[in-house]
A = this chain, B = another copy of it.
Amino acid sequence: MSASLPRVAIVGATGAVGTELIACLQQRRFAVRDLKLFASERSSGKRLAFAGQSLPVQPLAEDAFNGVDIALFSAGATRSRRYAPLAVRAGATVIDNSSAFRMDSAVPLVVPEVNPDRIAENRGIIANPNCVAIIAVVALWPLHRQFGIRRVIAATYQAASGAGAAAMEELRDATRASLAGERFEPRVLQHPYAFNLFSHDTAVDAVTGSNEEETKVGRELRKIMCAPELRVSITCIRVPVLRAHAIALNVEFEREVSPEAAREQLRAAEGVRIVDHVERNHFPMPLEASGQGDVLVGRIRRDSSDPSGHSLSLFVAGDQLLKGAALNAVQIAERLPPSGIAPR
């Protein structure tokens, strides 16, 4: 392959997102000089398929990034904090899927449909936002750009995949046990998952009452849309769904907005597919969002509780592993300058 093609590394290659990163690179024919796969000791020795080759999974080491142009990190905030600066020092541009650097003012937080121009401002690290923030912002941005959003009230329906591959397996195993009338002891999540739902498993702040997920989504939406005044209230709930998140959104605008005007903006928006078939009762569903790059948007209607006509309600669904994580990261990588080296 050409020497001008980037050398890419994936950190967390065997995880739920890592697996999708490899798949996205292949499906989108992202041309690489070579691909290095890193994971925890537990996975080393494994081999994964990429572009007709079988690549070894290596344990992460301090010198792992020598010669790497683009490093896609998806191995948790602790590993990102330790290894991402090493990757940058070795000359790589890091696209980090963890929360480690998202709110760092020197780090662009990018959803390519929203703020692609920020990519060029990176000083070595570009942060991939929280999955709920990405899925919500793909639907909110075309509306914010046109009408100005003042306030968002959201309730999420979050899939197991957001807690990783082990949580997806736990949902399947717990459900299988429940159907068989057998006992099942949760291993990954704190609460029984079969035919059940629960408040997001991150810690709740004793003062604000928000959990970490909710806090992340609010501040990330503000940063991505460059909307510091945006007010966000969100309730994050984990539901027994495998890999796509849904969100009920109630949106208040600076002025009166009709559902038709909103629909027109959304229809023209990149990354959005309108699924709003009233006559067939067919609206965004996680099962149909799964495996799709687009965010599905429907139930677009006036908010019946706001007589001023400034508010709309909508319901969205997006693949947590794709647009909510791996796909968004690869879309960022696609926009990096040749060799992945952004100007420093």
A residues contacting B by CB (< 8 A) are: 151-153, 155, 157, 171-172, 175-176, 179, 190-192, 195-199, 201, 203-204, 206, 208-211, 218, 231-233, 235, 237, 239-242, 246, 248, 250, 259, 278, 281-283, 285-287, 298-307, 311, 313, 315
Contact = CB atoms under 8 A, between A and B. Distances in A.
Interface of A is mostly: mixed
Contacts of A283: 198-199
A273 B109 CA distance: 41
30 contacts: A152-B305, A153-B153, A153-B305, A155-B155, A155-B235, A155-B248, A172-B179, A176-B179, A179-B179, A191-B285, A192-B287, A195-B242, A197-B285, A198-B283, A198-B285, A199-B299, A231-B304, A231-B306, A231-B307, A232-B304, A233-B303, A233-B304, A233-B311, A235-B313, A237-B246, A237-B248, A237-B315, A239-B239, A248-B248, A250-B250
A299 B235 contact: yes
Given A179-B176, A203-B281, A250-B153, A302 B209 contact: yes
A199 to B, nearest CB: 4
A197 B304 contact: no
Contacts of A233: 250, 303-306, 311, 313
